[in-house]
Amino acid sequence: MEPLTRLNEEERMFQSSVRRFAREQIGPYVREMDESAHFRPEILKQMFDLGLMGIEIPEEYGGQGGTFFQAVLAVEELAVVDPSAAVIADVQNTLVNNAMLRWGSALQKQNYLPRLASDTLAGYALSEAGSGSDAFAMQTRAILDGDHYVLNGRKMWITNAREAGLFLLFANLNPEAGYKGVTCFLVEKNFPGFAVGRKEDKLGIRASSTCELILDNCRVPAANVLGEPGKGYKIAIETLNEGRIAIGGQMVGLARGALDHARAYAKQRKQFGKAIAEFQAVQLDLASMATDLEAARLLVYNAARLREAGLPFLKEAAMAKYFSSQIAETVASRAIEILGGVGFTKDYPVEKLYRDAKIGRIYEGTSNMLRLTIARQMLE
């Protein structure tokens, strides 16, 4: 049986093109974007022009007609150079586009998919100040008023918020019904009563904007309910389960980047008359880093293949995201140690990758929540 993790020729060519783009077009600006906490709009435009923001969107809507696995590959390759670019593409492809493809009406697809493929960045607005791991404890409310819904509340920690023109936003129509009242709305940035609030000043992935959203009697057309009223919880659960695989890809890419920097530095840095790569202790560190990285990559690729084949993948997705976020932090930390003093400075990229790695244990399922998911799946 052919390994589930093997890449075919089309996937290899796609991977190579994203890798080249990331190195040549994003690489020169990574430090600047991190320090300014601002993603260059011309790079975002290039990502759209290359089709990286509409990978699975069918060609009839202006997308690439690609696969989920290709989306994961793109996230990984972008993360090798800049995890901020990777999470921008991740939210667009594996959360928003996938939800639209699966639950969008014919009219919604016609209206939004061409925009999502060509020039409109999107955000995924689920979390609130008191609603993180307990995602459906949300306080944002929606009330039907004629042919519109009126939304009130605040969303927190929303990726892509500053640049996005469209949001998949979750609110509760019927709080007495608990999670069964949660509904998903397609909210455009220019809708009355909608505003983007404070931008978070973050430890890592700083070029990716993370902001609060303010809904003050925000009027959303009834036609902009995604799926149907009361089915928002299903949309959220299923998209996040898939999104975890891509975040696993982001963490794998980050670890690859850190290992590449550590290996290159070890070959050229000399101490006691020879390259430090010749010292056994450094070799052992590099070997452990490479082994952990390969194990994480195989977990991610296997989960992506299972999802693409229509097979159960919940446990595998949780394992992939949980393990890859662990090794990303560990590999980046070891990379700093191999570089020594210069690794602790901003003159070398590994300190940034170390800061970027921390979020992997938090968003799209904390490590503790993922371990509970794995255990429950094992014990069923």
Q: Which amino acid is at 118?
A: S
Residue 46 CA to residue 39 CA, distance in Å, equals: 12
* 364 catalytic per annotation: yes
Quick check: 352 and 257 in contact, CB under 8 A? no
Active-site residue (options: 10, 24, 364, 380): 364
Measured CA to CA, the distance from residue 125 to residue 215 in angstroms comes to 12
Half-sphere exposure of 23 (CA within 13 A, CB side): 10
How far, CA to CA in Å, does 291 sit from each of 100, 184, 201, 284, 285?
37, 41, 34, 11, 10
Give Cα 13 distance to the centre of its chain.
22
Task: Determine which helix (DSSP H) or strand (DSSP E) holds 274, and give its type and residue range.
Answer: strand 274-275
- Whole-angstrom Cα distance, residue 379 to residue 332? 34
| Neighbour-count burial of 316, counting CB atoms closer than 10 A to its CB (0-12 exposed, 13-18 middle, 19+ buried) | buried
Active site residues: 364
